[in-house]
Chains A and B, each alone.
Chain A
């Protein structure tokens, strides 16, 4: 069971990122829990300044862009 965190305060990009992440989970069949991190202090604690960010199992994999479901699929496979 993996943990995926979507970092962002709820703008449209964060919503799209979450959608892509769910799509990637559906494609790979990987079991994961998606957490939304919306608190500024918590987001900043990951050392990023541009949202949306994507964290898989505590590791930041993407910042300031909306990766495609295919990108996320590849990261999930690591």
Chain B
């Protein structure tokens, strides 16, 4: 095992980390008074006017969302560095279908996932003898219950909605994986995947110092935020417009609990928005504030993160079309059920 410690001067590094934490905390508490002051005192906008409310929403949401992303994604990335998929696979390999499914869905939260790693993950799981249903529980939960979505939901909607989203997402992942397992679709996995079974296993473990881990997490977060920032700005801009100008009656008529077609409608809208989940959440926040139903909002969020056409296309390399169709259908049905269920329970 090669562990190279590149000695940097350790003390200033941790001082820098402490300074960053203090700066973050100050900025967090200053954001609301500062944006209010900027919008109503400096720019002289009228509180309660359409334009004034829209601009105040924008000025407050931008720093808030940015701070949340920078702070919490760094922390989450740091934590999940301790749960590499190689380790998760080992933990799931010997389990039965039920325990495995629950564990896979839960581990999906902390494990890094992007659609470009879906294939190696899939092969790695199957190769280690993780049951197909359990593998799918993981594939559903990992992108859907992800840290960016949870952080933004918590920050913009409060802990209640974030918790409900997490529980609902885990449920879809566990049940969806279980159903896929029951369908016995092993023959729809490409043959070469089975041929690889048992060849791997010389699994590699990364040994990193805490300093390296913090640096890695920060680099990852900076990259992520830089990449999604334009979408977030556009999303908050549209959200601000809705907040200030779109009449509540209109939102209630289309997205409110009274429209039975709202849930499938938002799921359809969500599919092409896959890569822009971060930018869409501020829009959803404004819509929820204007009377969109909670179940409909949840279904929208879930469809956006879980139903990903690029991921399905990539998975085509390891599984055949019938299994992809089954996967997509089961996830979609699960999301629809969640949407209707919450609308029914709440209203």
Q: How far is the CA of A46 from the CA of B84 in the complex (A)?
A: 16
Cα-based distance from A11 to B115 in the complex (angstroms): 10
**A50-B86 contact in complex given A41-B196, A43-B120, C-beta closer than 8 Å:** yes
- Which of A47, A49, A66, A75 has the largest number of chain B CB atoms within 10 A? A49
Contacts of B112 in A (CB 8 A): 50, 64
| Cβ-based interface call for A71 (8 A) | yes
Chain-A contact segment, one of B46-54, B198-206, B250-258, B289-297: B198-206
Tell me, rounded to whole Å, the shortest Cβ–Cβ distance linking B210 to chain A.
14
Size bracket of the B interface? 20 to 34
Q: Which residue of A lies closest to B123 (CB)?
A: A44
Chain B 242-282: CB-based contact to A (< 8 A → 1; otherwise 0): 00000000000000000000000000000000000000000
Given A11-B114, A40-B317, A75-B2, also A47-B202 (CB < 8 A): yes
Q: Are B120 and A11 in contact, with the CB atoms below 8 A?
A: no
**With the chains together, A64 CA to B206 CA distance in Å?**
9
A1 within 8 A of B: no
Contact residues in A for B196 (Cβ distance below 8 Å): 41, 44
Indicate if the CB atoms of A9 and B116 lie closer than 8 Å.
yes
Pair B119/A48 contact, Cβ less than 8 Å: no
The one of B6, B114, B219 that contacts A74, using a Cβ cutoff of 8 Å: B6
Give Cα A51 to B200, complex, Å.
15
A50 contacts B6, C-beta separation under 8 Å: no
Residues of A within 8 A of B67 (CB): none
In chain A, what residue has the closest Cβ to B4? A74
Chain B nearest CB, measured from A73 CB (Å): 9
Q: Please state if A75 and B199 are interface contacts (CB–CB under 8 Å).
A: no
Nearest-neighbour CB distance to chain B for A7, whole angstroms, equals 9
Is the CB of B25 closer than 8 A to any CB of chain A?
A: no
A50 and B219 within 8 A (CB): no
B206 touches A49 (CB 8 A): no
**Shortest CB distance B223–A (Å):** 8
A26 at the interface (CB under 8 A from B): no
B117 touches A71 (CB 8 A): no
Could you tell me the distance in whole angstroms from the C-beta of A57 to the nearest C-beta in chain B?
A: 11
Whole-angstrom distance between the Cβ of B86 and the nearest chain A Cβ:
5
B121 within 8 A of A: yes
- Residue A49 contacts which of B114, B116, B120 (CB distance < 8 angstroms)? B120
- Which of chain B's residues has its CB closest to A40's CB? B119
Measured CA separation A48–B206 after assembly (Å): 11
Proximity string of chain A (42-69) to chain B, C-beta cutoff 8 Å, 1 when within and 0 when not: 0111111111010000011111111000
Could you tell me if B201 and A47 are in contact, using CB atoms closer than 8 angstroms? yes
Instruction: Say if the beta carbon of A31 comes within 8 Å of chain B.
Output: no
A78 to B2, CA, bound (A): 9
Given contacts A62-B206, A75-B4, contact A40 B120 (CB under 8 A): yes
Q: Is B124 an interface residue (CB 8 A)?
A: yes
- Report the nearest A residue to B195, measured CB to CB: A41
CB-CB nearest in chain A for B125: A49
A50, B127: Cβ atoms closer than 8 Å: no
Q: Is B192 an interface residue (CB 8 A)?
A: yes
In the complex the two chains form, what is the Cα distance from A19 to B196 in whole Å? 31
Chain B residue nearest to A8 (CB atoms) is B116
Let me know if B200 and A50 touch, CB within 8 A: no
The verdict on A30 contacting chain B, using a C-beta distance below 8 Å, is: no
Q: Which residues of A contact B201 (CB under 8 A)?
A: 47
Top 5 closest A-B pairs, CB basis?
A: A49-B124, A47-B202, A11-B116, A74-B4, A49-B85
11 contacting pairs across A/B (C-beta < 8 A): A11-B116, A40-B317, A44-B120, A45-B200, A47-B201, A50-B85, A62-B206, A63-B86, A64-B112, A65-B216, A74-B4
